[in-house]
Chain A
Amino acid sequence: MDIRAQVSSVFHLDKCIGCHTCSIACKNLWTDRRGNEYMWWNNVETKPGTGYPTKWEDQEKYNGGWELVGTQLRLKQGGKAGTIGKIFHNPDLPTIDDYYEPFTYKYEDLTNAPAAKDQPTARPVSMISGEPMKIEAGPNWDDDLSGSNVYAANDPGVIQLTEEEQQQLFAIEKMVMFHLPRICNHCMNAACVASCPSGAIYKRGEDGIVLINQDKCRGWRMCVSACPYKKTYYGWSSGKSEKCILCFPRQEAGEAPACFHSCVGRIRYLGVLLYDADKIEATAMKSDGELAAAQREMILDPFDPQVIAAAREGGLADQVIEAAQNSPVYKFVKQWGIALPLHPEFRTLPMLFYVPPLLPLLSVENNGTQKISDDFFTTLEQARLPLMYLAGLFAGGNQEEIKAVYRRLIAVRIQRRAASVGDLPEAELQNARELSGLDDAALDAIYRMTSLTRIKERIVIPPMLREQAIEAGMDPEEYKQGMGFGSRQAPKRRW
């Protein structure tokens, strides 16, 4: 057993209002430089939709992630020698046109224009070339289902539904959507790490944060195509790839990552998970439908004395084990089993989990009066989104996983209704509870965690123990450069 700690997260999708505050917080902090304008380390997509970059989930197109070749796990974009052979032109690399060309406006024209009959306008100009341009796309072009007959209709998850399901999904009275905030998953079996010819990308042993050593990156851009989530970005000005760093400098100072801290809906939870690193490969080779469960299996109980002993032996500090015991992520993923990884079938074992959206109730027009649907609470049968669609997103196509989560979420709603209003028959509550497989205390705990907790309970940052990292007498500046982002010069092209 090789026990490691991983700083992991849970995003509760029913709570996300799609305000993009997280994206802006991240942008202002990390990616407001030339060449990084298009990088959204954190972005919020509307589902159904094609996401960012367009159709990123379609690995037949993008060739990201891993695939099983016989009994071997291989990068879908090719083996090691093939990767080096493709270094002069990566055949799987998307271009900026699959994201969007960053633009600004010539605002000065508004004030400098000479007097004339027409209103002066600020023309859009490219932030790459400075030339006037036609804006074709943006970071959220299909936000809130805009252009849904192009974008939502071509969501790779929607395409695989039956014609009937698709029609229902887009019937105007039943139109449905939810928001999917995405950051780097800091995967256990990261494809970006595996694809980097320079060996510049690495996982930090202590906390599992995946980083790109900017001094080692040579701009071979294999990580961009290898990451199935398209969460590594090529800096076209600096010639370096960059990605979400889970705000490790903030975490080392005890602060929540910027996107977590700024989250208006408080949908984000952060905490430590303990897992057995020896099982990474075997787990990643499970069949599509088993992957979500197998990954849950890898996560260890931080209260188990055997696990604690093994963790100590592996060098984990007591404070980290304690943080793992207080981890809200452990509760969501393991204890309550209501959070699932995004697209586990990419086989990178992502360590960011999502509580699938149960979605609000559906109101129906009835003789001129608004009436809430017959069943007060959503039932599995009446799920707003096809379960197949959700299973495609969060369970490698395994609908049982989604059903299990939904039963628990429904049970929480019913239990709260019973507790706060008290108008439900005891049998219904009992039935829901049994179906969920959780007891009253757990259902109550889920309710508390999702609606009442303060930041210290939602975001449990383990002590990063940097004071132990630097040996006495070692130059901290030098050490910093060797490890992290640590640029002491402006990160832009100089030569």
Chain B
Amino acid sequence: METSGWRAEFCRLTLTLAFLALILPGTAAMAATGNDARGEQLFTGSRAMTNGGSPCIACHALAGLGTAGRASYGPDLSELYADYEAEGVAAVLESLAFPSMEAIYANRPLTETERLDLTAFFARTAETQTLPTTSLAGLILLGVVIVFALVGLSGLRRFKGARRPLVEQARKERGVIQ
């Protein structure tokens, strides 16, 4: 159920961007350009959005950010800039009218500066398009092993029974059959 919903949403995103891409090239170029460093901070969340919106990294993958840029909730944005150029990106950031984003950003829209900064950041990362493929599974399993190892260590001296070991021992030593 949710997969088809996601597909629909993704289609809508593509359509919107395509539409914007068609109508926007004619309009005037952006008056100002953003600060890509600030854009990165906004993307990763080290700088909070002015209106309290979510940082992009929470849901979207983006090549060039290492493992942290491998979110899988929303669509991968690595090729966003290459496909839609600055104007398209800026326009999408303005509305963010996708079902699961709407609730988040409807009352907390991105400011104009933030949109420009993010666009500039997308522009900078446009060239890297492949996500790192290193798997986290190893680290995660290591974490699980560590937890169980700690548990085992904590119980090294736990009580392991008195009566049965005593009888077992006697049986072995003297051949006593209870």
Contacts and interface: CB of A to CB of B under 8 A. Distances in A.
Touch test A–B (CB under 8 Å): yes
A137 B159 contact: no
Interface string B52-88: 0000000000000000000000000000000000000
A53 B162 contact: yes
Interface stretch (A1-9, A88-96, A196-204): A88-96
Interface residues of B, number: 15
A91 B155 CA distance: 7
A99 B154 CA distance: 26
Interface in A133-176: 136-137, 147, 149-151, 154
A360 to B, nearest CB: 29
A93 B159 CA distance: 7
A89 B178 CA distance: 31
Given A149-B174, A150-B170, A53 B163 contact: yes
Nearest to A77: B159
A437 to B, nearest CB: 41
A141 B58 CA distance: 65
Contact of B158 (A92, A136, A137, A149): A92
B157 to A, nearest CB: 7
Nearest to B176: A150
A99 B162 CA distance: 9
Given A147-B178, A149-B174, A149-B176, A154 B166 contact: yes
Contact of A98 (B154, B158, B161, B178): B161
Contact of A50 (B155, B157, B166): B166
B171 to A, nearest CB: 8
A97 B170 contact: no
B155 A98 contact: no
Contact of B159 (A61, A136, A150, A154): A61
Interface string A45-64: 00000100111001001110
Contact of B166 (A63, A93, A150): A150
A92 B162 CA distance: 11
**Interface core residue of B159, B161, B166 (most chain A CB under 10 Å):** B159
A267 B90 CA distance: 96
Contacts of A99: 163
B167 interface: yes
A285 B5 CA distance: 72
A54 B169 CA distance: 14
A101 to B, nearest CB: 11
Interface string B134-178: 000000000000000000001101110111101100100010101
B173 to A, nearest CB: 10
B177 to A, nearest CB: 11
B87 to A, nearest CB: 58
Q: Considering residues A98, A136, A147, which has the most beta carbons from chain B within 10 angstroms of its beta carbon?
A: A98
A132 to B, nearest CB: 18
A137 B166 CA distance: 12
Interface string A397-426: 000000000000000000000000000000
Interface string A86-122: 0001011111011100000000000000000000000
A99 B158 CA distance: 18
Contact of A92 (B159, B161, B166): B159
Interface in A258-282: none
A468 B157 CA distance: 50
A134 B167 CA distance: 15
Given A97-B164, A147-B178, A149-B176, A62 B159 contact: yes
A98 to B, nearest CB: 5
B168 to A, nearest CB: 10
Given A149-B174, A150-B167, A150-B170, A91 B162 contact: no
Contacts of A136: 163-164, 167, 178
Given A147-B178, A149-B176, A150-B176, A98 B170 contact: no
A54 B163 contact: yes
Contacts of A154: 166, 170
Nearest to A100: B163
Nearest to A154: B166
Contacts of B154: 91
A95 B161 contact: yes
A225 B157 CA distance: 14
A137 B163 contact: yes
A233 to B, nearest CB: 16
Contacts of B158: 89, 91-92
Contacts of A225: 159
A61 B178 CA distance: 23
Interface of A: 50, 53-55, 58, 61-63, 89, 91-95, 97-99, 136-137, 147, 149-151, 154, 225
22 contacts: A54-B162, A54-B163, A55-B163, A61-B159, A62-B162, A91-B157, A93-B159, A94-B159, A94-B161, A95-B161, A97-B163, A97-B164, A98-B161, A98-B163, A136-B163, A136-B167, A137-B163, A147-B178, A149-B170, A150-B176, A150-B178, A154-B170
Interface of B: 154-155, 157-159, 161-164, 166-167, 170, 174, 176, 178
Question: 10 closest A-B pairs (Cβ-Cβ)?
Answer: A91-B158, A54-B163, A150-B170, A54-B162, A55-B162, A98-B162, A98-B163, A92-B159, A91-B155, A97-B164
Given A91-B154, A98-B163, A151-B166, 12 more contacts: A50-B166, A54-B163, A61-B159, A94-B159, A94-B161, A95-B161, A97-B164, A98-B161, A137-B163, A147-B178, A150-B176, A154-B166
